[in-house]
Structure 1
Amino acid sequence: MKIDKFVLAIIGIVFLAYLFPQWGSKESPIPLDIIGSLGISLIFFFYGLKLHPDKIKSGLKNWKLHVVVQLATFLLFPIVVLLFRPLASSEHTEMIWLAFLFLAALPSTVSSSVVMVSIANGNIPAAIFNASISGLIGIALTPLWMGMFLQQSTADFDLGVIYIKLLTEILVPVILGLLLQRFLGKYTAKYNKQLTLFDKTIILIIIYKSFSESFEEKVFTSVKLTDLLLILVADILLFFSVYYFIGFLVQKMKFNREDQITAQFCGTKKSLVHGTVFSKILFPATMPTGVILLPLMLFHAAQIFIISVIASKLGTRVDK
């Protein structure tokens, strides 16, 4: 199996932040915050350009599959994490648990979901629809999930301010992209590789900024190697618990093979793009976003690897 280049880039950028944290610190002359904010708005503007209205209309027909995927994404994941709330007894474990809840409350993502569904010979149009619509639903639901607990742990959290930021930085660019889709939509297909590279570059900038500040403030002195291994194991267990539950559910609902694959692949994916963007908006400056992003980044790497293996096996089986 090939190692995902983006995962390697994330590891590299975290290492860079460790070696040169001063470039991303609050005193740095490089305006990474402004670059990140503008980049976020452009990412979601292009996201709106890619959402063709005809695809959304045709995608609504397979509503049972969409309901399963969205319920798994925004309800099943958070419920599984909520079961472990009693374990968050100290300030350190409370922070890690909040990071897992943040991971669980995030929407699915388009690119890797669609690629993996394609390799496994699943329902590609349904995968595109679900991953696309998931991002829009997440703008409303992710802050609601986090608001229930962040308001208890920090006085800086204001849901009204959060939604204003989401509206100006994310929703307005998406709507603008949708309005201009008929004029500029064709260019998103033509320059898809370049847009994907732009998305990933902005995400790497935000990750670098988050980890630079965390390394500068020596936040990771409390995170040991055993903690990282435990987070990775918890990520894998979370993934498989949701993956097999969705598999059990769709078999009971008698989905065909293509829809089963799409439900399990899209329903277990969490968007690193939305995660890095939302962490910048949702969490107050007093909270170390480097630690908040740890479970998400480890989940992202583990999920890509596991789904790649499963997708290859399923695809080979169909070819034979």
Structure 2
Amino acid sequence: MRRFLPDGFTLSLIATVLLASFLPCRGVTAQAFNVLTDIAIALLFFLHGAKLSREAVVAGMTNWRLHLTVLASTFVLFPVLGLLLKPVLSPLVSPDLYLGILFLCTLPSTVQSSIAFTSIARGNVPAAIVSASASSLLGIFVTPLLVGLMIAGSGQGALSWHSVGAIVLQLFVPFVAGQVAQRWIGGWVRKHATLLTFVDRGSILLVVYTAFSAAVLQGLWHQLPLPVLGGLVLVNAVLLALALLATRYGARALGFDTDDEITIVFCGSKKSLASGVPMAKVLFAGHPLGLIVLPIMLFHQIQLMTCAVLARRYALRHANTRGVPVSAGSGEYR
């Protein structure tokens, strides 16, 4: 039953939303928080660049069919589902919330939780490391382009060159700087993984607090009745279910073995909260950011609970067929 309960980070997100609801930042305080958030996001991508191992990427690049399948699910299947299902699902939520759903569909896969669930399920962990890392890196380029195409196609404005430039300066430049500095600080960053976790989670909480503060001051909770919130949960659940089914049976149709199927399922069906929230702040300046990041926050928890159960079922099947004992697994789900 513990797998169905929110983890510590999810509870922190809920507490942050409550804090923003009752004590929203405004005026000079809001400006200071925005500057602090920008610094935290830049530091986050710098540390990710310093941590990403080139050796692990080179070692896992040989399974190119698997990686292309994961990337196709992440950056093709999800956006297509978001657009095709819009006539059916958009009546359940508000236009701004469905804009958040479309943005969710463009995001890269998670890294830590994809690898952790693949490991628990006894899948191809080295391939998961490469696929999830490649997805996260490509997301810096692909997500803004997909957002521009999908928003323009939905009639809700277009992605400006200013936003593209902001992505390059705030996300890509620090990432490249981290890759350059990896020679000197890469080992230290990997050794002090808690620092990256602190910056990772801290930047998300800062963005969520500032975004929801602004949204609350604009009357967020008056615009979000319970039926709409329930509709948003349903939309997220439908997207995740379709992605899980497509990756599972698609992997089998393409002839992948069970280990690779597990990797494709857990890397190709997930969306990154850690990348999504900072990107949303940069890409959607002037939009109601609270409503845009809310779908990502809900999808994050739904995917963790669902994939925890699915990983355990894969592990049990592995134990029954190969006689391998099942352990609770390790790793932090994010």
TM-score, normalised on structure 1?
0.93
Aligned to 2:16: 13
Aligned to 1:229: 230
Alignment gaps of 5+ in structure 2: 326-334
Considering only aligned residues, what root-mean-square deviation do their CA atoms show, in Å?
A: 1.8
Whether contact under 8 Å (2:94, 2:228) holds in the other structure is: no
Aligned to 2:68: 67
Whether contact under 8 Å (2:163, 2:282) holds in the other structure is: yes
CA displacement at 1:64 relative to structure 2: 0.6
> Secondary structure at 1:108's aligned position in 2?
coil
Q: Could you list the per-position Cα deviations for residues 157-192 of structure 1 after superposition, in whole angstroms to 9, with x for gaps in the alignment?
A: 553211211111111111111112122111122101
Whether contact under 8 Å (1:105, 1:145) holds in the other structure is: yes
Whether contact under 8 Å (2:89, 2:235) holds in the other structure is: no
Aligned to 2:329: none
Letter in 2 for 1:303: Q
Aligned to 2:128: 127
Percent identical among aligned pairs is 34
Q: Could you list the per-position Cα deviations for residues 173-222 of structure 1 after superposition, in whole angstroms to 9, with x for gaps in the alignment?
A: 11111112122111122101231122101110110110011011112312
Aligned to 1:251: 252
CA displacement at 1:87 relative to structure 2: 5.0
Aligned to 2:271: 270
Aligned residues: 314
Task: Describe how 1:6-45 pairs up with structure 2 within 5 A.
Answer: 6-21=9-24, 23=25, 25-28=26-29, 31-45=32-46
Letter in 1 for 2:271: K
Q: Could you list the per-position Cα deviations for residues 228-254 of structure 1 after superposition, in whole angstroms to 9, with x for gaps in the alignment?
A: 111111111110111111111111122
Aligned to 1:165: 166
Structure 2 distance, partners of 1:68, 1:88, is: 26
Structure 1 distance, partners of 2:150, 2:71, is: 22
> Secondary structure at 1:121's aligned position in 2?
coil
CA displacement at 1:94 relative to structure 2: 2.4
Q: Could you list the per-position Cα deviations for residues 90-140 of structure 1 after superposition, in whole angstroms to 9, with x for gaps in the alignment?
A: 8x7322221111000001111111111111111111111111111221112
Structure 1 distance, partners of 2:296, 2:234, is: 13
Structure 1 distance, partners of 2:303, 2:120, is: 15
Letter in 1 for 2:289: T
Structure 1 distance, partners of 2:116, 2:257, is: 19
Task: Describe how 1:32-181 pairs up with structure 2 within 5 A.
Answer: 32-86=33-87, 93-151=94-152, 152-154=155-157, 157-181=158-182
Find out whether 1:310 has 2:316 as its counterpart.
Answer: no
CA displacement at 1:29 relative to structure 2: 6.1
> Secondary structure at 1:153's aligned position in 2?
coil
Aligned to 2:189: 188
Whether contact under 8 Å (1:119, 1:311) holds in the other structure is: yes
Structure 2 distance, partners of 1:61, 1:194, is: 32
Change (3 A) 1:170 1:89: closer
Structure 1 distance, partners of 2:30, 2:72, is: 44
Whether contact under 8 Å (1:87, 1:93) holds in the other structure is: no
Letter in 1 for 2:149: M
Structure 2 distance, partners of 1:198, 1:14, is: 19
Alignment gaps of 5+ in structure 1: none
Whether contact under 8 Å (1:220, 1:291) holds in the other structure is: no
Letter in 2 for 1:193: T
Change (3 A) 1:233 1:86: closer
Q: Could you list the per-position Cα deviations for residues 258-285 of structure 1 after superposition, in whole angstroms to 9, with x for gaps in the alignment?
A: 1111100010110111111111111132
CA displacement at 1:149 relative to structure 2: 4.4
Change (3 A) 1:246 1:29: closer
Whether contact under 8 Å (1:26, 1:213) holds in the other structure is: no
> Secondary structure at 2:29's aligned position in 1?
coil
Structure 2 distance, partners of 1:296, 1:257, is: 29
